[in-house]
Amino acid sequence: MSQSRSRRRPFPTDRLRRRDLLRVLGAAPVLPLAGCGGSTESSVAPPTEGGGVWDDAAFRHGVASGDPEQERVILWTRVSNVSGSVPVRWEVALDEAFESVVRSDADPGPSVFRTHTDAGRDYTVKVDAAGLLPGTTYFYRFTVGATRSPVGRTRTAGSGAIDRLRLALVSCSNYSAGYFHAYRVIARQDLDAVVHVGDYLYEGGGEGEIGRPHDPPYEIVTLDDYRRRHAQYRTDPDLQAMTAAHPLIPVWDDHESTNNAWIDGAQNHQPDREGDWEERKLASAIAYDEWLPIRLPDPMNPLRIWRRIAFGDLVELFMLDTRLQRNAPETDTSITGSEANDPSRSMLGIEQRDWLMNGLLNSRDAGMRWRVLGQQTMMAPHRNNPDPSMLPLPYLPPAVVESLGLRQGGGNEGSDNWGAYVFERDTLIRHLRENAISNNIVLTGDVHTGWACDIVEDPYTPFNPITSGVTGAPGYSALTGAGSVAVEFTGMSVTSNNLIDTPGGAALGALWGAAVRGVNPNARYHNPAAHGFVLVDIDRDGASGSFWNVGTVLEPLADGDDGAIDATFRVAHAEAGARFANHLRRV
């Protein structure tokens, strides 16, 4: 049952106090991110080659880069087998042999810095390497004492008029549920960045089916728990390969904290056994900031992760938090009534919603070709479990139904996605339509299954060209896409369970996918039986999403096996003045 409206309040992110951080950290110092504000010059001298207390230093968790901008990028690593305050060298070069070093901790000038790490940030290192060239590939590495990290490759965002952007969309990577094959295949792609829209890790315990039990072996709650879980995930060789090859642009969903979280609680948080929700939420956010190459808009507020990144004049990427900013929990079993349409229910929170709507207008006015929203749960209206009276469907065991977020015999959307916040979704859709903001792409995860959809308020009411075309009233033409304001690519899971993990799952998935498409005119594609990622390829004339299936994740991936593309869907760039531009077609 939903909680009282009187308890719903926006989280005071602008008043997040330093003492709250210190309390969760156990009074450990909060070290500023080098290059992201505040004094960053280390009082510790840079290390000399060899010797010292860092003789056994190691880089067991690899390297990563993230949040590329036109002249800077975040560089990340973690140092093991050390203690105390550890100075860390870093270098950025144009070549893998580091014969052409362009930036390092040794450079003079006020904009360059030395950094160090200690137990206060779990010996993780984040460098905001600035002064780089736009649209350029670089190599980077770290050094502690005589020990060097693996070499990573990254790329800055382009500037000015650029012709192409290639992204990989991933989500839902449960370490105990399977091997991270999608990450291995992504590492070998030609990409500008990887967009991770959440469930980068899972909070539960359990053994799983492949002998990769979670560490710690219980549900994580404290800061130390979250750090241990992040550390375990970062030992995966496929994850290390992907982040060493491409910059990562991440946002969390719920499992980075706990299942079906919202601003004031979570379905999977029990205060009587697991303590204060605010402390647990903050602990999960601090560990996320430490272990992910994310650039916080406010370095002193790890709960503020919504931000935007421009790739020349081609794409403006808005990374959203539709999880820990939502001011109301999931609904009860009926979301088609008044609760889903309650204007007080918000996925984004007022501050983020205003930021997004203003940003979309500014992006249009600045002449950006495309707008891309990276976010967590499905935005397009969809009937996840078609009404049996409309199409005959096979019986699914309750455990499978629950794992897929389905409603047996229903016809409703899930209770934890945008369908439970219909008023705000319709407000956003009207904002796009009434302000003629076209060329909009939404990138989504969460549901473990692949979807390609047009986004419109109501895809089920037959389209009326007189009322809908003029007033924007609900209505949709599946043939022409009239009424749609955006397209959505929802990626399959990296490992989290779907029908492919059940006996006969591939055949059942084909039947189920056809049935779902049959009752959802706006769903151009639905595959509930695949693991993998979506390759998003954007150019000046259009954008496509290719659903890359890597097969089972319960067995190791054979050498040379990169899976295969199941389907590709493309949306064309709108001609000047075109009213309806956002419509997917299979290619």
Tens of pLDDT, residues 186-221 = 999 999 999 999 999 999 998 888 999 999 999 999
Taking the C-alpha atoms of residue 148 and residue 136, their distance in angstroms, rounded to an integer, is 23
Most confident of the ranges 32-36, 108-112, 125-129: 125-129
Confidence of residue 31 (pLDDT cuts 50, 70, 90): very low
Residues 132-157, mean pLDDT to the nearest whole number: 97
* pLDDT at residue 484 is higher than 50: yes
Closest CA to 63 of 136, 140, 123, 119: 140
Query: How would DSSP label each residue in 190-227?
Result: --SEEEE-S-SS------TTTT---SSSS---SHHHHH
Q: What's the half-sphere exposure (Cβ side, CA atoms, 13 Å) at 548? A: 23
* pLDDT at residue 109 is higher than 80: no
Q: What is the pLDDT of residues 357-378, one digit of tens each?
A: 999 999 999 999 999 999 999 9
The alpha carbon of residue 449 and the mean position of all alpha carbons in its chain are separated, in whole angstroms, by 15
H helical segments located in 260-349? 271-274, 277-291
Residues 275-284, mean pLDDT to the nearest whole number: 98
* Contact call for residues 89 and 48 (beta carbons, < 8 A): no
Per domain, the residue ranges of the chain are: 31-123+137-149
Residue type, 169: L
Q: What is the pLDDT of residues 499-523, one digit of tens each?
A: 998 888 899 889 889 888 887 889 9
Taking the C-alpha atoms of residue 233 and residue 210, their distance in angstroms, rounded to an integer, is 15
Q: What is the pLDDT of residues 520-573, one digit of tens each?
A: 889 999 999 999 999 999 999 999 999 999 999 999 999 889 999 999 999 999
**Lookup result for tokens 């010292």:** 52
According to CATH, the topology of domain 31-123+137-149 is Immunoglobulin-like (2.60.40)
Identify the pLDDT of residue 407: 40
Q: How many residues does the chain have?
A: 587
Identify the pLDDT of residue 576: 40
Residue 523 tokens, joined:
């769903």
pTM across the whole model: 0.89
